[in-house]
Amino acid sequence: MKLTEKEKCLLGQLYDANYDAELIAERTKCKDLCFRYNQLLPSRIEERKQLLRELLGKTGKDFLIEQPFYCDYGYNINLGENFYSNVNCVILDGAPVTFGDNVFIAPNCGFYTAGHPLDVQQRNQGLEYAKPIHVGNNVWIGAHVSVLPGVTIGDNCVIGAGSVVTKDIPANSLAVGNPCRVIRSI
């Protein structure tokens, strides 16, 4: 039996993200919801939360994502309790993106599950892959951090501003840089 492009994506295989009608329709629906969310008055907290509950896969009771916020599908994003993201958060959630409890994200951060083949013919066909991202509990992510496909950030970590997280960061670490490296335990 032939796999759908969405099934290939969920299995971590190369899949057609650019030309598959099902995935395009899901992203369009998500972008419409993000647009609506980003147009709401900031003071309409409960309405904002309700729209995010419709958009995201799972939320805790207490969470806040400042506007603007952008994602690809929404349903692959899971938030723990006491989640906060400042402005300009981008989550490309072709694969699951999971945040634990007490996660604080500074402005202009991106979480990117999507990657593209090095082979130019595959890339020009619109093929890509997606690998999950997991952020543990009690994590603070500084401004302008990029988290790349397949990364796990352990519990109680601090990721310094401007970091590009290309590999897993163990629990209880202070990590900074491009590429992001552990500089000490905390």
Count the alpha carbons within 13 Å of 149 in the hemisphere toward its beta carbon.
Answer: 15
Chain center to CA of 32: 18
Concatenate the DSSP letters of all residues of 89-126 into one string: EEEE-SS-EEE-SS-EE-SS-EEE-EE--SSHHHHHTT
As given in the structure block, the two tokens for residue 40 are 């709401």
Catalytically annotated residue among 116, 122, 123, 178: 116
- Alpha carbon distance 103, 124 (integer Å): 37
Tell me whether residue 116 is one of the annotated catalytic residues. Answer: yes
Distance between CA atoms of 115 and 112, rounded to whole angstroms? 8
Q: Point out the residues that are catalytic.
A: 116
